[in-house]
């Protein structure tokens, strides 16, 4: 009995600590987004402290309020600084060396690319076949000698591109010379080129889907494919995330296990950094990379952490460094899905044990959908009902493609004689995932029935949890 009580007390202590870290993450994110005047923060804090002491008689609450106040003030100031930095230092004619900061992508009849011009990021749009071909082959990290004009962004465009730190648009007059860029970018670009060459074995449009699953590159997916993945709730598969990072580390596992603890940690962090650069520092992969690094660090020092605390610490670190991440829907979808998968998902799976082998995938899928529900509804005004069976059917196969697809692509690109055989399993997996998206999007009911369906799902889950509560 004492040991049991000891375990219960320890569990409660850790749960309380996790709750405090999660609260700190929420306060920092809210303050960075809202950016309240620090003076008002101090006034509200003083009122809260007086209430805690005079009415609630809880001095410990005063300590919590004081810490949260400091965090909120710092986040608010950092948020203000980040938004003020979006004002360009200078506009007008400019000539010199620039760096490509984002891969070119088709956008509303033009090719769009982001350049770093004199230390600031500018958006470039090129219309017409000749101009599009000029920039469509550019890659992140490359250097370009250009001449053009820096202009202000349209007012309604500022908030859309804020997470990318874009301060204006740049109209190119001419491009005279180019360089390959830094060593890290040269290496990642060579690997991406190899994977792209391997994708030609699959044929259109499955080559684009393969690149989306493996490296998060969905630029060349046709509009109808993009729409069916959104309608089926599977669009998250083409956004690199923690699952991709986990598979890369799993593939490197046999080699990492040969190293001593600290060397393993160092190579793990280096591999994470490379993969984050390889997938272009997207918000979702930044979150996944920081989480993986924190988990590896906690493991090597002998202090493993619960997933909810790792997520919260990742949000604290990332938003403190880059407050503009709070404006990224991709970031919040990633955070929400991770929280749902790591907390709600296993809890539901234990209570849905009557489903047998389907309990875990059903619980994880429901947890993920719950985690992304709010941002998905606010931004996209949709939460597909068919996403539940579609994810159960597609995610395991997509995971195999993610795990096998990258090394297979490298082998296929460098050993052409083996390309067909090596890429055959990838072809089967990609076609399966696309078929699930096609069927699921066709079966998605009209909006009123979607609401009814989610209500019925909620009732069914609640009933299953009620009946299975004793076996948790």
Lowest mean pLDDT among 39-43, 240-244, 284-288: 39-43
pLDDT > 90 in the chain, percent: 55
Lowest mean pLDDT among 28-32, 49-53, 110-114, 358-362: 49-53
Task: Note whether 231 and 156 are same-domain residues.
Answer: no
CA distance 214 to 244: 7
Task: Note whether 70 and 206 are same-domain residues.
Answer: no
Task: Note whether 173 and 240 are same-domain residues.
Answer: no
Task: Note whether 123 and 106 are same-domain residues.
Answer: yes
Residues facing 223 on adjacent strands? none
Neighbour-count burial of 23, counting CB atoms closer than 10 A to its CB (0-12 exposed, 13-18 middle, 19+ buried) = middle
Task: Note whether 355 and 438 are same-domain residues.
Answer: yes
pTM value is 0.88
CA distance 138 to 78: 33
Structural domain contains residue 229: yes
Q: For 167, which DSSP code?
A: E
| Per-residue pLDDT at 263 exceeds 80 | yes
Q: What pLDDT was estimated at residue 189? A: 92
Total Cβ atoms within 10 A of residue 285: 26
CA distances from 302 to 286, 293, 297, 305, 308 (A): 24, 14, 9, 10, 18
> Is the torsion defined by CA of 433, 434, 435, 439 positive or negative?
positive
Task: Note whether 115 and 167 are same-domain residues.
Answer: yes
CA distance 169 to 150: 6
Query: Could you tell me which residues come within 8 angstroms of residue 65 by beta carbon, excluding any fewer than 6 positions away?
Result: 45, 48, 49, 52
Task: Note whether 284 and 413 are same-domain residues.
Answer: yes
Structural domain contains residue 349: yes
CA distance 397 to 434: 11
| Per-residue pLDDT at 40 exceeds 80 | no
Residues in the chain: 472
Task: Note whether 307 and 200 are same-domain residues.
Answer: yes
Structural domain contains residue 98: yes
| Per-residue pLDDT at 173 exceeds 70 | yes
- Given 53, 84, 115, the domain boundary residue is 84
Burial 322-352 (b: 16+ CB within 10 A, else e): bbbbbbbebbbbbbbbbbbbbbbbeebbbbb
Residue 104's CATH number: 2.40.50
Task: Note whether 12 and 154 are same-domain residues.
Answer: no
The helix (run of H) or strand (run of E) holding residue 98 is strand 92-107
* Domain around 156: 92-181
3-class SS of residue 385: coil
pLDDT in tens, 123-156: 999 887 666 667 888 999 999 999 999 999 998 8
Domain count within the chain: 3
Task: Note whether 343 and 457 are same-domain residues.
Answer: yes
pLDDT in tens, 436-472: 999 999 999 998 898 899 999 888 888 877 876 655 4
pLDDT in tens, 376-426: 888 888 889 999 999 999 999 999 999 899 999 999 999 999 999 999 999
Structural domain contains residue 187: no
Residues facing 102 on adjacent strands? 114
3-class SS of residue 151: strand
| Per-residue pLDDT at 10 exceeds 60 | no
Task: Note whether 310 and 365 are same-domain residues.
Answer: yes
Task: Note whether 98 and 231 are same-domain residues.
Answer: no
Structural domain contains residue 186: no
């Amino acid at each position: 009995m004492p040991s049991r009580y000891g375990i219960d007390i320890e569990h409660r202590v850790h749960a309380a600590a996790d709750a405090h870290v999660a609260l700190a993450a929420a306060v920092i994110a809210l303050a960075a987004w809202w950016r309240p005047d620090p003076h008002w923060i101090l006034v509200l804090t003083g009122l809260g402290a007086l209430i805690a002491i005079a009415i609630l008689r809880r001095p410990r609450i005063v300590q919590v309020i004081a810490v949260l106040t400091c965090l909120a003030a710092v986040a608010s100031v950092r948020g203000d600084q980040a938004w003020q930095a979006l004002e360009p230092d200078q506009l007008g004619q400019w000539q010199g060396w620039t760096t490509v900061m984002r891969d070119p992508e088709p956008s509303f009849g033009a090719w769009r690319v982001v350049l770093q011009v004199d230390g600031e990021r500018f958006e470039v749009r090129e219309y017409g076949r000749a101009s599009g071909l000029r920039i469509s082959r550019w890659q992140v990290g490359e250097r370009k000698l250009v001449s053009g004009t820096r202009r202000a962004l349209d007012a309604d465009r500022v908030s859309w591109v804020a997470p990318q730190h874009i301060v204006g648009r740049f109209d190119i007059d001419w491009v005279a010379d180019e360089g390959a860029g830094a060593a890290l970018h040269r290496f990642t670009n060579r690997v991406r080129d190899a994977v792209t060459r391997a994708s030609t074995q699959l044929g259109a449009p499955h080559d684009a889907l393969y690149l989306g699953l493996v490296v998060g590159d969905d630029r060349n997916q046709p509009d109808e494919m993009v729409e069916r993945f959104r309608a089926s709730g599977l669009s998250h598969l083409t956004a690199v995330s923690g699952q991709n990072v986990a598979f890369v580390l799993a593939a490197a596992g046999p080699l990492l296990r040969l190293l001593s603890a600290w060397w393993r940690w160092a190579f793990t962090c280096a591999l994470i950094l490379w993969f984050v650069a390889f997938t272009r520092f997207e918000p979702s992969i930044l979150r996944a990379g920081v989480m993986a690094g924190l988990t590896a660090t906690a493991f090597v020092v002998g202090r493993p952490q619960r997933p909810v605390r790792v997520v919260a610490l990742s949000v604290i670190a990332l938003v403190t460094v880059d407050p503009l991440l709070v404006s990224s829907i991709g970031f919040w979808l990633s955070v929400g899905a991770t929280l749902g998968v790591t907390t709600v998902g296993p809890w539901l799976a234990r209570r849905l044990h009557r489903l047998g082998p389907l309990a875990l995938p059903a619980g994880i899928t429901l947890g993920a959908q719950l985690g992304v529900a709010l941002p998905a509804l606010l931004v996209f005004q949709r939460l597909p009902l068919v996403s539940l069976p579609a994810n159960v059917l597609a995610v395991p196969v997509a995971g195999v493609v993610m795990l096998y697809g990258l090394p297979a692509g490298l082998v296929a690109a460098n050993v052409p004689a083996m390309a067909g055989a090596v890429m055959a399993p990838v072809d089967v997996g990609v076609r399966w995932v696309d078929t699930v998206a096609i069927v699921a999007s066709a079966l998605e009911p009209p909006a009123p029935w979607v609401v009814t369906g989610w209500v019925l799902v909620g009732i069914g889950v609640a009933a299953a949890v009620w009946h299975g509560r004793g076996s948790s």
